[in-house]
């Protein structure tokens, strides 16, 4: 019996946060959209699972702060549509040495975009957050609009919205083959599809789908430890105590940033993580613990001992998340150089969740061949030389 062939306007492969927002925007434009996901939902194999993510306007680059304005609006709109809380404003506290160039640049970016923020001297920090211990010369920058996004809840709300708007979500369907053309053909483990456009948002699996299409992007997959640390007194670092999300920017202490969210997901435990990880194969679900995993946890233990004295310096829960990093830390939002009805969103480098409402809008615009709402220069794949165009 011949395999069933399904016709639609657009296929989105990958039901993480970027794929979900892309399908959501397409469905809002009344496009017949099908969202394909290789695993059964919900799952914890990619980059979008877990209960919480940080949302912030604080960035070094103006273009992200500008994008975040609209992101906040779309998050609020989705929250209204879903009739469920997806976001909690806690503030974001950035810690760094007084002369830290990143801290100064972020402060300048926030000022330029008129984002409410407050510089806090060591004395002011001590008064405001007595359970944060500072290194000599450390100061703070508090962004008032920073907060927590409820990640799992947001994914469910989006998948429900896509269905409500007439789109389809097919999970447990792995894509086996893509045949470029007009229409583009996609063959999954269950059936075959034809669509006017295809959007690929599959994180660490991106190059597996792109190699047969003649390109390979410079993506590195990292497995990151997500650690939860016990409070000595439950709730002392909680949202009920008005404790903010935080970002440790002092790179003299660690080569990468450390970030944390107030306790809440697991009662009495605070999420504090190192913004880096170890090379990973996404197909290897349970990699053995690497020596560098232990080193990363030691870095966090030291930071907690020195900065958050009311936490136990030993994690109670250890989970994992995958980052798909580009060499410059900026994502790729672009069309395939040869097949302009194939659109790619990849390489979100561990900071893409909060940006997904606008990323999804841009990927939707690229697939509909309308002028993108934002300047895509920082996100074009042509910024990386030698992408295998010789094979095209």
Task: Classify 329 in phi/psi space as left (phi over 0), alpha (psi -120 to 50) or beta.
Answer: left
What is the spatial distance between Cα 32 and Cα 176, in angstroms, rounded to a whole number? 22
Handedness of CA 47, 49, 54, 58 (dihedral sign): positive
Domains of the chain listed by start with CATH number: 1-90+146-217+329-391 (3.50.50.60), 92-144+220-325 (3.30.9.10)
DSSP state letters, 255-320: SS-EEEE-B-SSTTEEEEEES--EE--TT-SSPPPPHHHHHHHHHHHHHHHHH-TTB-SS-SEEEE
pLDDT at residue 389, rounded to an integer: 47
- The pLDDT tens digits of the residues spanning 341-383 come to 999 999 999 999 999 999 999 999 999 999 999 999 999 999 9
Under the banding of pLDDT at 50, 70 and 90, the label for residue 165 is very high
Torsion of CA 377, 379, 383, 386, to 10 degrees: -140
Is residue 115 scored above 80 in pLDDT?
Answer: yes
Contact in structure between 245 and 142 (CB atoms under 8 Å): no
Q: Are strands 147-150 and 184-188 parallel, antiparallel or unpaired?
A: unpaired
What is the spatial distance between Cα 293 and Cα 296, in angstroms, rounded to a whole number? 5
The two three-digit tokens of residue 355, written as one number: 């940006």
- The pLDDT tens digits of the residues spanning 203-235 come to 999 999 999 999 999 999 999 999 999 999 999
Is residue 47 scored above 80 in pLDDT?
Answer: no
pLDDT at residue 65, rounded to an integer: 98
pLDDT at residue 256, rounded to an integer: 87
Contact in structure between 117 and 143 (CB atoms under 8 Å): yes
Those residues with Cβ within 8 angstroms of residue 126's Cβ, 6 or more apart along the chain or in another chain: 132, 134
Whether the pTM exceeds 0.85: the reply is yes
Is residue 390 scored above 60 in pLDDT?
Answer: no
What is the spatial distance between Cα 362 and Cα 366, in angstroms, rounded to a whole number? 6
- The pLDDT tens digits of the residues spanning 117-146 come to 999 999 999 999 999 999 999 999 999 999
- Mean pLDDT in residue range 15-25: 98
pLDDT at residue 278, rounded to an integer: 84
């Amino acid at each position: 019996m011949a395999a069933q062939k399904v016709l639609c306007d657009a296929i989105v492969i990958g039901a993480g946060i970027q794929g979900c927002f892309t399908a959501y925007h397409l469905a809002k434009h009344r496009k017949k959209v099908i969202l394909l996901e290789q695993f059964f939902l919900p799952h914890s194999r990619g980059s979008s699972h877990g209960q919480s993510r940080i949302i912030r306007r604080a960035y070094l680059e103006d273009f992200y702060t500008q994008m975040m304005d609209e992101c906040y609006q779309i998050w609020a709109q989705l929250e209204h549509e879903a009739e469920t809380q997806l976001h909690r404003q806690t503030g974001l506290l950035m810690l760094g040495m007084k002369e830290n160039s990143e801290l100064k640049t972020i402060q300048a970016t926030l000022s330029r975009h008129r984002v409410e923020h407050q510089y806090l001297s060591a004395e002011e920090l001590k008064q405001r957050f007595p359970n944060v211990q500072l290194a000599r010369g450390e100061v703070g920058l508090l962004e008032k609009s920073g907060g927590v996004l409820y990640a799992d809840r947001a994914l469910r709300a989006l998948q429900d919205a896509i269905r409500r708007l007439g789109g389809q979500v097919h999970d447990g369907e792995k894509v086996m083959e893509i045949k470029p053309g007009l229409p583009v053909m996609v063959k999954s483990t269950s059936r075959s599809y034809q669509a006017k456009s295809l959007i690929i948002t599959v994180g660490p699996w991106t190059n597996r789908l792109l190699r047969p299409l003649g390109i390979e992007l410079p993506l590195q997959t990292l497995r990151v430890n997500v650690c939860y640390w016990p409070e000595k007194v439950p709730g002392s670092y909680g949202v009920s105590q008005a404790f903010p999300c935080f970002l440790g920017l002092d790179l003299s202490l660690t080569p990468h940033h450390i970030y944390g969210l107030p306790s809440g997901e697991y009662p009495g435990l605070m999420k504090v993580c190192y913004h880096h990880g170890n090379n990973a194969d996404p197909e290897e679900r349970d990699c053995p613990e690497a020596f560098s995993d232990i080193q990363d946890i030691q870095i966090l233990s030291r930071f907690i001992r020195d900065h958050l004295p009311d936490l136990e310096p030993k994690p109670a829960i250890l989970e994992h998340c995958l980052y798909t990093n580009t060499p410059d830390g900026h994502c790729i939002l672009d069309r395939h150089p040869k097949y302009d009805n194939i659109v790619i969103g990849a390489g979100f480098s561990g900071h893409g969740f909060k940006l997904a409402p606008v990323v999804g809008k841009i990927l939707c615009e690229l697939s509909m061949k309308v002028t993108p709402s934002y300047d895509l220069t920082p996100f074009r794949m042509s910024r990386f030389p030698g992408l295998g165009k010789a094979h095209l």
